[in-house]
Structure formats: C-alpha cells, structure tokens
Amino acid sequence: MNRIFAASAFLIVFIFGTTHFPGARSFSKEFLTPKEIEKIQLAQEVDTRVKAYMEAAALRLKTARERFGGVESEAGAPLEFFTVEEMIEGYNRIMQSVMSNLEDAYQDESKDREKLRVALTSLRNGSKDAENPLAVLKKLAEEKLDEKVWNQVNQAIEITKGASEGAESGLSELPVPPKKKGEKNIDRN
C-alpha cells in the first residue's frame, strides 16, 4: 500500500512539475553543469548517482540563497551564469531525476538492496537538509515580492516533502541487512 501511495505521489509531483502552464517560462537550458553531467554519467551505481545528484541539488539551493540575498557568484563558479529561477528549477528537476532513478532501482530486484538503502538514506538526509534553505528562499521571495520565485520555491518544498516521504517509505520496506559478526545493533536508517 505504501508503495502505491509513494508511486502515486511521485507521479502527481512529476506531472505538475513538468506541465507547462500558459505564461510559464520553459527552461531549455541544461540544468546541470558539464562537470555534474560527467560525474553522474560515471556514477553507474544508484548510491553514487544519487549522492552526485544530491550534491548538485544542495549547490543550487546554497547558490540561489546567496544570490537572492545579494551575494554575486565569483568568476568561474559552477553556477555563475544561472539565475535564481534557473537554479530553483534545476533543483526541482534534479529531485525529480533522483526519484525516477530510485523508483527504477527499487523495482529492479537484481539491484543491490544495500546500495539502494544508501541511496534512499542520501535522499532522505538531503531532503531534510534542504528544508532550511528552502524556507529562507521562500522568506526572501516574500520580502522581495517576487511571486515567480515564491511559486517555484513552494513547488520545491512540495517536491522535497514528497521525496522525503518516498525515501522514508522505501527505507521502511527494505529488509534490514543482517548484522555482521561482532557488529553492534545499529539502526542504519
């Protein structure tokens, strides 16, 4: 039942996240930097791929927060030529990519379940870490009366909440790995 709920929540977020409404700007610009694309392509296992995606997502929130707060990027910075809107849109697309990768890995029974556990844990932790920067971005958008950024951040908050809940659900359904000899009973979630 949790699996059906998680899949339904993902589909709803995915549909609303990719549907273009009248007047909505379409982002044709690549949302990842060339170095990030290379890192993700080299990360063939779900755990390392999700980690690379989550690092990219965190960088977007950090940089968007700084830029929206008035701090300009240094020359040569990875996101130097991205606007606040593009970074938030990039964050949303990254989170959708992570959920898609995890859904594929979860359904593939041949995938290493411990690597899937690590990937789900990365998503859960990254989602929790994103809560504060997203709240700050929302507050900045309110102060600056920037409705577009405010709407994007609200969408990011919903995607992040769905990702966190999906990660929790996935972790709860994975069997706990057996303890190794001499290992203390530690909750790996």
Q: Answer whether 31's CB lies under 8 Å from 90's CB.
A: yes
What is the reported pLDDT for 28? 56
- Give the angle 20-62-163 at the CA atoms, nearest 5°: 55
**Contacts of residue 21, Cβ cutoff 8 Å, sequence gap at least 6:** none
Q: Answer whether 60's CB lies under 8 Å from 88's CB.
A: yes
Average pLDDT of the residues in 66-75: 90
**Gap between the Cα atoms of 87 and 59, Å rounded:** 9
pLDDT bucket at 183, cuts 50 / 70 / 90: low
**Gap between the Cα atoms of 52 and 36, Å rounded:** 7
Please say if the pLDDT value at position 19 is more than 50.
no
Average pLDDT of the residues in 4-30: 48
Q: CA 11 → CA 15, 39, 185, distances in Å?
A: 6, 27, 36
Looking at every residue in the chain, the average pLDDT score rounds to 84
**Contacts of residue 148, Cβ cutoff 8 Å, sequence gap at least 6:** 85
Average pLDDT of the residues in 68-93: 92
Q: Answer whether 27's CB lies under 8 Å from 86's CB.
A: yes
pTM over 0.85: no
Q: CA 122 → CA 7, 16, 26, 112, distances in Å?
A: 19, 24, 29, 16
Please say if the pLDDT value at position 1 is more than 70.
no
Please say if the pLDDT value at position 10 is more than 60.
no
Q: Answer whether 102's CB lies under 8 Å from 123's CB.
A: yes
**Contacts of residue 66, Cβ cutoff 8 Å, sequence gap at least 6:** 73
Two tokens at 36?
């990030």
Domains of the chain: 2-19+33-173 (1.20.58)
pLDDT bucket at 3, cuts 50 / 70 / 90: low
Two tokens at 141?
């958008």
What is the reported pLDDT for 178? 67
Per-residue model confidence as pLDDT tens digits over 20-41:
433 344 445 788 999 999 999 9
Per-residue model confidence as pLDDT tens digits over 54-65:
999 999 999 999
What is the reported pLDDT for 168? 94
Per-residue model confidence as pLDDT tens digits over 96-112:
999 999 999 888 888 88
